[in-house]
Amino acid sequence: MFVRQIDTMKAILIFIAGLMLASLLKGQVLVKGTVKDQKGRILAGANIIIKDSYDGTLSDSTGAFSFKTTEKGKVILVVSNIGYKTLEQGLDLGIDTLAIALYLKEEINELKAVIITAGSYEASDKKKGTVLKALDIATTAGANADISATIQTLPGAQKVGEQEGLFIRGGSAEEAKIIIDGTVVNNFFYSSVPGIAQRGRFSPFLFNGTVFSSGGYSALYGQALSSVLNLESLDIPEKSELQLGLSPLFASLGLQQVAANKKSSYGFSYNWTNLTVYQKLVPQAPDFFKVPDFHTADANYRFKTKKNGVFKIYAYYNSGSLGVRNPSLDSLGLWNAFQLNNQNLFTNLSFRQFLGNGWKLNLAGSISYNRDQIVSQVQNQQYQSVPKTQIPVIDQASFTNYATQWMFQLRAVAEKRFGSINTLRFGAELWNNQDSARFQSVLGLYPSLVKDRYTAGFAEADLYITNELAFRPGLRIEHSSLLNKVNIAPRAALSYKLSKNSQLSADYGIFYQTPERRYLINQSAVDFLRADHYILTYQHISSSYTFRAQAFYKDYVSLLKTSSGFPVVVNNNGYGYAKGIELFWRDRKTFKNFDYWISYSYLDTKRDYNNYPAFVQPGFAATHSGSVVLKKFWVKNMFGVNWSYNWSTGRPYYNPNRSAKEFLSDKTIAYSTNNFSLNWLPKIGKANAVVVLGINNVFNERQIFGYNYSSRVRDADGLLIRSEINPPASRSFFLGVFLSWGVDRTQQNINSNL
């Protein structure tokens, strides 16, 4: 009994001891210290945790932390902070307060690292620090939602009023290439009409990424002495949509259908542009005897594969015609009539797939076709073709040219990520070009056929040495079957981050381009054209402000030179240079809902190429040019007003009254234009509407892009007479209403649930 009592006592004692032990276990130890990075800078908000326990804390604004823990013995302390490598450190918890100093290593990551492609202008909604957003293209006054016209408000891109194309840093339009999803678009613009700049064919809303590089672009691309404009099409859209566009200029209808699981989508659209109504409202200077009339149809199909791959097919077809008549300068009373029929097909197929283990594959293919049928005729007062006059310059102005281009492209790029964000890219591409033409004039019939198979291999690496310093070496090897030549083009970019938002970059590269094939018919021993770029960039980018200053030197080592006689012989003896300074400032923050940018370019360039008799500033280059773009949006009324001002000093023009020594020594008057546009986004019935009104050259400023000279008619002073090259109308207008009926799930849900 007694023994039993003792046993019970023992048990009670053990019970109490157990309870005491439990509370002893709860005895707390204070852990305190500081968190800093390797450079000794304070890290606030770092997360400090004892692994597999509830205990821990965040570091405060001085980097200090302290917390109590009930854990005992050997534990692991985990310290993490966004942008730093997570630290795991063993800790022996006794009874005493522990004071520890923790140091985190910076992790090289995209959010913090220096940007390698600092020289380029990017329009995208994906990244934070982009210079332009996709929407900006649609709301730039004067651009009329044309991608290339918006790019002309950026430094380095020259506005040339009488000709379409991208004229970059003293380069001609042929020296820039435009790329959609990896494949080159040969006929990005509508076919040329003498004296009238044409629009780009593609709507900015097809693309979610636009990267415009004004020089020193990546080794992944080639065949452009000046620059590359890289357009990336949308993946699967967010929602199904029916779109209708109406304007005095055009009517369009489009449907985009997204599968319920959002894994695939298809769409098509049709657009009919006819300027009959517009030209009645806004008189045009030239006589459009055949009003511009274009039919465009496009279709797309996209689907997502497993592992986030995307497969896309896009097909575009356009058929158009126009005829324009101007008085002949060679014989008063006669007319020069120009008529164009064009058919254009562009198809692109692309496939992007993550292969795991940091590998990514991009495949692309494209077939494109373009046919221009040009009839140029000398006509009498009754607009009838005149018979042979025996005056060569007049007779030779009558000709027909039927030109057909086929292009077939294949491209594969593999990408491997290693380390944290280092990337290696390599791949190859193949272009098959075939151009045929039949040119007929009084001189006879000249059929021609020229084929070129272009192959290229390329590799480049993004190497982040630290978050502050990155290096991108690249190499491209190209071969052209037409030239039967090989070139090796090295590229390099070095970027150094000065502070959180600012950085310095230096770019270097050799760029080759096959001369235009129309010069290469029956020619031998011609080599690639070559330009070397040296670019220095300083930029400061935050989400509200962008400032960029660039200085560049471009050495045209080899340009095409054509002989003056007939038949024409070409060689590589052309040369030239371009150098300049460019400034860009954009501010989205200072004034609420008001956004503006200012750009300025200084360009000093000279060249001796084609049939130039001297080493001079080319006709497409202006020394000073600038733009101011303003945008104000009232969110409450969904109403925006945009203004733009573009200005450039006069460009040289050819005056045959001068001697060869004075070639291109005359300059036009300075170019200046103010443009206005407003956009209003009301809800009309169930449709989301966008109403756009634009007026270009609001103040009716006089614009002279150059002069056409007669070859034989002289004035009283014995000088060859001339006419100005002006825009077809001094002021131009745009009015459009775009309606879209989306499957508005918000609305659906409100209706079905209430």
Closer to another protein at the Cβ: 384 or 747? 747
Beta-strand pair 98-104/29-37: parallel
Q: Yes or no: say if 318 and 379 are a contact pair by the CB < 8 Å rule.
A: no
For the chain, the farthest-separated pair of C-alpha atoms sits apart, in whole angstroms, at 146
Tell me, what DSSP letter sits at residue 113? Answer: S
Task: Pick the closer one to another protein by CB: 156 or 640.
Answer: 640
381 CA to centre of own chain: 47
Nearer to another protein, 209 or 292 (CB): 209
Nearer to another protein, 47 or 723 (CB): 47
Contacts to another protein by CB under 8 A:
4, 7-8, 10-12, 14-15, 18-19, 21-22, 45, 47, 49, 51-58, 82, 111, 125, 128, 133-135, 238-239, 543, 633, 635-636, 638, 681-683, 688, 744-747, 749-750, 753-754
The angle formed by the CA atoms of residues 121, 127 and 131, to the nearest 5 degrees, is 30
Q: Give 236 or 361: the residue with its C-beta nearer to another protein.
A: 236
Closest approach of Cβ 305 to another protein, in Å?
A: 21
Complex with another protein: residue 72 or 712, whichever CB lies closer? 72
Residue listed under structure tokens 């000065």: 498
Which of residues 122 and 429 has its CB atom nearest to another protein in the complex? 122
Write down the residue that tokens 């993550």 correspond to.
354
Q: Shortest distance, CB of residue 66 to another protein, whole angstroms? A: 13
Instruction: Work out how close the CB of 567 gets to another protein at its nearest, in angstroms, rounded to a whole number.
Output: 54
- Phi, psi values for residue 442, rounded to 5°: -60, -20
Summarize the chain as % helix, strand, coil (round to 5): 10, 55, 35
- Least CB distance to another protein at residue 750 (A): 7
State whether residue 664 is helix, strand or coil. Answer: coil
CB of 217 to another protein, least distance (A): 25
Contact status, residue 123 vs residue 135, Cβ threshold 8 Å: no
Q: What does the alpha-carbon distance between residue 223 and residue 644 come to, in Å, rounded to a whole number?
A: 33
- Category of 662 on φ-ψ map: left (φ > 0), alpha (ψ -120 to 50) or beta: alpha
Nearer to another protein, 67 or 402 (CB): 67
Query: Minimum distance between the CB of residue 124 and another protein, rounded to whole angstroms?
Result: 9
Name the minimum Å distance from CB 102 to another protein.
Answer: 16
Please report how close the Cβ of residue 435 comes to another protein at its closest, in angstroms. Answer: 40
Give whichever of 57 and 396 is closer to another protein, judged by the CB atom: 57
645 strand-pairing partners: 628, 674
User: Minimal distance in Å, beta carbon 22 to another protein?
Assistant: 4
Number of H helices, E strands in the chain: 6, 41
| 491 vs 588 by CB, closer to another protein | 588
Nearer to another protein, 14 or 332 (CB): 14
Q: How far is the CB of 754 from another protein (least distance, A)?
A: 6
Which C-beta is closer to another protein: that of 81 or that of 423? 81
Angle at 163 between CA 702 and CA 678, to 5 degrees: 60
| Closest CB 26 distance from another protein, rounded Å | 9
110-122 burial: b if 16+ Cβ within 10 Å, else e: eebbbbbbbbbbb
Which token pair is 409?
């492209």
Q: 158 and 167 in contact (C-beta within 8 Å)?
A: yes
Q: How far apart are CA 681 and CA 544, in angstroms?
A: 24
Residue showing tokens 């978050």 = 467
> Least CB distance from residue 308 to another protein, whole Å?
15
**Separation in Å, CA 712 to CA 195, 708, 715, 719:** 20, 12, 10, 9
Q: How far apart are the first and last CA of the chain?
A: 77
Strand ranges (DSSP E) for 175-218?
A: 176-180, 183-184, 207-213
CA neighbours closer than 13 Å in the CB half-sphere of residue 16: 5
Give the C-alpha distances (Å, rounded to integers) separating 684 from 633, 657, 690. 20, 60, 10
By C-beta, is 386 or 681 nearer to another protein? 681
- Shortest distance in whole angstroms from residue 238 CB to another protein: 4
Specify whether the CB–CB gap between 247 and 253 falls below 8 A: no
